[in-house]
A and B are shown apart, each in its own frame.
Chain A
Amino acid sequence: MARFRVVLRATRRIWLPSVVSVLATAQTFTLDGISARPVRVEVDVHRGLPAFSLVGLPDAAVREARERVRAALANCGFDFPLQRIVANLAPASLRKAGPGLDLAIAAALLTASGQLDLERLARLALVGELALDGSVRPVPGVLAIAEAARERGVEAIAVPAENGPEAALVEGIDVICLESLNQLSALAAGEWTSVRPEPMALRLGPDGDAPDLADLRGQRHLRYALEVAAAGGHSLLMVGPPGAGKSLAASRLPSILPPLAPEEGLEVARIASACGRLGQGGGRPFRSPHHTVSPAGLVGGGNPPNPGEATLAHRGVLFLDELCEFRRDTLEALRAPLETGWVSIARAGSWRHLPCRFMLVAAANPCPCGRGDADPECSCAPLAVQRYQARLSGALADRIDVLAAIRQPSAAEIGGPPGEASAKVRERVVSARERQELRFGSGRCNAEMTPGEVRECALDEGAASLLADSYSRRRLSGRAHDRVLRLAQTVADLAGVETIGQEQMAQALQLRRRDRG
């Protein structure tokens, strides 16, 4: 029997005509973290048993493109070739993820089967997910893809109509909005030209109905600490009983930060787009991960690595509520990114460098029961309080500049008039930031001062002696000494003075986070 089969194959090979195959390619991009990588789709249609195979490290969503493409082609009135189809996604070593390759695979298949003349489309990059009826669905990361396409000299990019305004943010490349696969043939035949869509409006500052700092009643010291932290980009720790207004204050912080610069706005939009969150309005992001978050969830991870909360909070605020409840290794993972403003994640075969320049705001209770050990109602054992507070000085606390002790506002305060509105505070913050940019160059703030720059802070005599006195009484460590100087510079910038005076130095000393001991 086996022998018979061998003979049969040999005869068939002799009798069959030479294999006729047609090759077509289309260009597309796949999302790799928050940046896009080019992918060339090669489709080969040749005689054989009808089959459709997809090669080139596709993930599950890409592999399922076969079914979507088959149905979409049939439902748009095209023929699905009953031949042997091989689609290759080059480069073969790069993992391809997401459904955005559907459109390119369909286009290459149509060309290979002779149903579409893609001469014009050869200079086109195609991105989009196909529905079974042939309509084109939006995909994440179009902004990054359009930018990558422009950098590679692609003339035009075809994107889903819903992603059009996002792609139009990128100058120097034609944007074609597709609603359905049918439009592709009209486009190829030259019967239809797409109008470039209006670029979407990127909001750089907070919008009108964002939560306002006026909601924070009383809390004079906290308001002041928030203002200083915002003005210098300093990280902030709030300690106080539950319900005193820590979370409320943190969520108002973006509203007093200066508006984003246009290129910063684009950076934020690129990250939001890659994570499919661009629809949620622009402005500075505010992220508050729950304390059960894993290290990978916080700084990014997985294989291939995906951006984490730290990257999502880029140019915005990362709020860690209940700081002492976070896992130690999670907080530990945040240390280096806080210092450098970048997360580097290395995995076998892939390596990512994600931006994460955010303002860290943390909140904690003063003791396990939350009342604080100075409150007679506090039921915590002193040792438990000590152990709890030790967590405040470990791990991440090193990187925190400002401490605000919060108390329950009194009845008079909470029923009193609203506090100062965000817009007014923001004006002062913006003018303080302008002074810093004048000093260090654009985009930099006092919190990022290098040790060399810290030495150049101008102090008057009173301020210098106050600082020296605090230092020599061992109330300050060397690191805390520099931190106080950075803070004092911010306080002086807020006050609008050139030289740090005694008053400003005293305020900075009070605001600083306390070390143990």
Chain B
Amino acid sequence: MSEPRACPDCLRRSRLLAHLAPYIEKVATGTAGSRSPELLRLSNEDLVDAVAPKVATQVLAQVMAVPEGVLTADLLAAQCWACCRHDSRYPLGLRDAADAPWALIGRGDPSLLERLEPDGAVTVVGARRASSYGREVARELGRDLAAAGFLVVSGLAFGIDACTHRGALDGGVTVAVLGCGVDVAYPAAHRSLWRRICESGLVLSELPPGTGPWRWTFPARNRIMAALAGMTVVVEAAQRSGSLITADLAADLGRDLGAVPGPVNSRASAGTNELLAGGACLVRGAQDVLDAMLGPGVQMATPTGLDLEPRLRTVLAAVESGEQTCDAIAARLDLSGAEAAAALATLEALGYVSCSLVGVYSRTLLAAPGV
């Protein structure tokens, strides 16, 4: 199969965005009317006039003069490829959006573009400051959705995004959409994750290689994520989280919107709980996403662990009822410290429970057989 292609004009558009990045940074604010996706809807000339009227002609002339050879050479040097809106492989979901990027710069396996259509992709987003609950859910959701054959789209940010990618890498294929050039690992702490995704998945951006992150590029990145997938799931978001912007964008495009419920007294889940109150699809696990996207009745093979002996079953029940430490479980079930420790370690090895850095146990999503 041939490489995806991009015409020079579309590539020049992305180059223009990189040139204008500091100007857009000044103009774009969080309020409606001047959000970056709205700016990016404008044509080249209007965009330049809107953000940098003083240097408009100069910038425009400079970018339009870049020869085609330089454009492609830059892509090759950064080991990237590009796919523009005139190419047949341009993701279907983006064609729906009025503010879609003219060209997508990608790194990784270009054949995955074929699969990147709304019916086959799910976007999972959420807070960067995520709780252990949110991270666990994101990981499981990523893994199970990827295992069910979906492309799992997320943004490589801290917290929920990274956990989703990690989970999806365990289960299948994941797509990272960046707010900087695809060859820039941002945040730097996720360099190894970024590399893993480059090797086995897909990293996409509308900005040319080498472009750094700006504040406005993240809402702009969110609109791509929202458009790519048929459903956007928000795992954990506070009241004014950026993930809610993605959710809004997805709803505007007529995509399904899902949210993972959280404790009603948790500030970290206030945004997702509000989405649910507003009619978003309740997502408890990958099965709920499957029901929403493929219609009810499509059964996902729920991961079921090995059979448990009665004592392990009672210990598991104690964890499910909210006991968090080995000591609490020992006291509740009247076991010795050694017995409780052995049971918990066995359950952990079987994948039924997980243990935090400070020794707090929580139940994983793995279902126990016959319960």
Interface residues of A (CB under 8 A from B): 218-225, 239, 364, 366, 372-374, 376, 381-383, 389, 392-393, 403-407, 410, 413, 466, 469-470, 473, 475, 491, 503, 505-511, 514-516
Q: Are A373 and B342 touching (Cβ within 8 A)?
A: no
> How many whole Å from B36's CB to the nearest CB in chain A?
25
B371: A residues at CB distance < 8 A: none
Q: What are 8 A-B contacts with C-beta separation under 8 Å?
A: A220-B330, A389-B357, A405-B324, A506-B341, A506-B346, A508-B345, A510-B326, A515-B357
When the two chains form their complex, are residues B324 and A374 in contact, meaning their CB atoms are under 8 A apart?
yes
Does B340 have its Cβ within 8 Å of any Cβ on chain A? Answer: yes
Report how far A242 CA is from B355 CA in the complex, Å.
21
Residues of B within 8 A of A511 (CB): 341
Give the CA-CA distance A466 to B345 in the complex, in Å.
Answer: 10
Residues of B within 8 A of A223 (CB): 337
Q: Which 3 A/B pairs are nearest by Cβ-Cβ distance?
A: A405-B359, A224-B337, A510-B345
Q: Is the CB of B336 within 8 A of A239?
A: no
A372-B328 Cα distance, complex, nearest whole Å: 15
Decide if A509 touches B331 in the complex (CB within 8 Å). no
Cβ B327 vs Cβ A222 within 8 A: yes
Cβ–Cβ contact B330 & A389, under 8 A:
no
A-facing mask of B350-363, CB < 8 A → 1, else 0? 01000111111010
Report if A507-B359 is in contact (Cβ < 8 Å); known contacts: A221-B327, A406-B325: no
Would you call B129 an interface residue if the criterion is a C-beta within 8 Å of the partner chain's C-beta atoms? yes
If A405-B359, A514-B356 touch, whether A220 touches B336 (CB-CB below 8 Å) is: yes
Is there contact, CB below 8 Å, between A407 and B129?
no
A302 to B220, CA, bound (A): 58
A413, A506, A511 interface centre (most CB from chain B within 10 Å): A506
Decide if A506 touches B349 in the complex (CB within 8 Å): yes
Contacts A221-B337, A224-B337; A509 near B348 (Cβ below 8 A): yes
Contact between B355 and A382, CB atoms less than 8 A apart = no
B349: which of A224, A372, A469, A515 is its contact (CB, 8 Å)?
A: A469
- Chain A residues in 8 Å Cβ range of B266: 376
Q: Is the CB of B341 within 8 A of A405?
A: no
Nearest Cβ in chain B — how far from A455, in angstroms? Answer: 22
Q: Which of B337, B345, B346, B360 contacts A374 (CB 8 A)?
A: B360
Q: Give the complex CA separation of A327 and B336 in angstroms.
A: 37
Q: Which residue of B lies closest to A515 (CB)?
A: B357
Given the known inter-chain contacts A382-B130, A383-B129, please indicate yes or no for A222 contacting B337, CB distance below 8 A: yes
- Closest chain-A Cβ to B103's Cβ sits at a distance in Å of 36
Specify which chain A residues have a CB less than 8 angstroms from the CB of B360 in the assembled complex.
Answer: 366, 372, 374, 405
Most chain A beta-carbon contacts within 10 A, residue among B266, B351, B360, B362: B360
Query: What separation, in Å, do the CA atoms of A510 and B263 have in the docked complex?
Result: 28
A225 to B284, CA, bound (A): 37
Cα A381 to Cα B266 in complex, Å, equals 11
Given that A220-B331, A221-B330, A406-B327 are known contacts, is A389 also in contact with B358, CB under 8 Å in the complex? yes
Say if the beta carbon of B265 comes within 8 Å of chain A: yes
Report whether B341 and A507 are in contact in the complex, using a CB–CB cutoff of 8 Å.
yes
B268 interface residue, CB < 8 Å from A? yes
Is B349 a contact partner of A405 (Cβ separation < 8 A)? Answer: no
Task: State which of A407, A491, A503 has its C-beta within 8 Å of the C-beta of B328.
Answer: A407
Which residues on A sit within 8 Å (CB–CB) of B129?
Answer: 381-383
Asked, given contacts A220-B337, A374-B324, whether A393 binds B357 with beta carbons under 8 Å apart, the answer is yes
CB distance A224 to B341 under 8 Å? Answer: yes
Taking A466-B349, A511-B341 as contacts, is the C-beta distance between A405 and B358 under 8 angstroms? yes
Nearest A residue to B330 by beta-carbon distance?
A220
Complex partner residue of B358 from A218, A366, A470, CB under 8 angstroms: A366
B44 at interface, CB cutoff 8 A: no
* Complex Cα–Cα for A404 and B326 (A): 9
Add 7 more A-B contacts to A225-B337, A374-B132 (CB < 8 A).
Answer: A223-B337, A376-B265, A382-B131, A392-B357, A407-B324, A509-B348, A509-B349
Which of A224, A225, A382 contacts B336 (CB under 8 A)?
A224
B348 touches A220 (CB 8 A): no
Query: Is A510 touching B341 in the complex (CB atoms < 8 A)?
Result: yes
Interface residues of B, count at CB 8 A: 36
A51 to B255, CA, bound (A): 101
Cβ A413 vs Cβ B344 within 8 A: no
Q: Are A373 and B131 in contact (CB under 8 A)?
A: yes
Most buried by A among B326, B356, B357: B357
Q: Which residues from B are CB-within-8-Å of A220?
A: 327, 330-331, 335-337, 340
For A221, what are the chain B residues with a Cβ–Cβ distance below 8 Å?
325-327, 330, 337, 340-341
B32 within 8 Å of A (CB atoms): no
With a CB–CB cut-off of 8 A, which chain A residues contact B188?
none
- Chain B nearest CB, measured from A369 CB (Å): 13
* Known A405-B325, A410-B331; contact A516-B357, beta-carbon cutoff 8 A: yes
Contacts of A403 in B (CB 8 A): 358-359
CB B260 to nearest CB in A, in angstroms, measures: 16
Q: Nearest-CB distance from B305 to chain A (Å)? A: 13
Interface centre among A218, A223, A382 (most CB of B within 10 A): A382
Q: Evaluate contact between A510 and B358: CB separation under 8 angstroms.
A: no
Q: Does chain A have a CB within 8 A of B338?
A: yes
Q: Which residues from A are CB-within-8-Å of B324?
A: 374, 405, 407
The answer to whether A373 touches B340 (Cβ under 8 A) is no
Q: Is the CB of A514 within 8 A of B327?
A: no
User: Which B residues are CB-close (under 8 A) to A505?
Assistant: 345
**Contact A514–B341 (Cβ < 8 Å):** no
A376–B263 touching, CB < 8 Å: yes
A405 to B266, CA, bound (A): 24
Cβ-neighbour of A507 out of B132, B330, B338, B351 (below 8 A): B338
- B 113-131 contacts with A by CB, 8 A: 129-131
Q: Are A510 and B348 in contact (CB under 8 A)?
A: yes
CA distance A38 to B273 in the complex (A): 78
Chain A residues with CB below 8 A from B268, complex form: 382
| A510 contacts B325, C-beta separation under 8 Å | no
Q: How far is the CB of B273 from chain A (nearest CB, A)?
A: 15
Chain A residues with CB under 8 Å of B328's CB are 407
Chain B contacts of A475 at CB under 8 A?
348
Residues of chain A lying within 8 A (CB to CB) of residue B351: 473
- Point out the residues of chain B lying under 8 angstroms from A374, CB to CB: 132, 324, 360, 362
Chain B residues with Cβ below 8 Å from A516 are: 357
| Nearest A residue (CB) for B135 | A382
Roughly how many angstroms separate A491 CA and B355 CA in the complex, as a whole number?
A: 21
* Inter-chain contacts of A218 with B (CB < 8 A): 327, 331
Distance in Å: Cβ of A107 to nearest Cβ of chain B: 62
B261 to chain A, nearest CB (A): 16
Smallest beta-carbon distance A386→chain B, Å:
8
Contacts of A506 in B (CB 8 A): 341-343, 345-346, 349
Nearest Cβ in chain A — how far from B234, in angstroms?
16
Write the chain A residue with the least CB distance to B323.
A407
Contacts of A413 in B (CB 8 A): 331
Per a CB cutoff under 8 Å, which of A373, A473, A508 touches B132? A373
B302 to chain A, nearest CB (A): 20
* CA of A505 to CA of B341, assembled, Å: 10
Q: What residues of A have a CB within 8 angstroms of the CB of B263 in the complex? A: 376
Q: Is the CB of A507 within 8 A of B345?
A: yes
Are A510 and B342 touching (Cβ within 8 A)?
yes
Instruction: Tell me if B330 and A503 are in contact (CB < 8 A).
Output: no
Bound complex: CA of A469 vs CA of B342, how far in Å?
15
Across the interface, A404 reaches (CB within 8 A) one of B132, B338, B340, B359, namely B359
Are A407 and B327 in contact (CB-based, < 8 A)?
Answer: yes
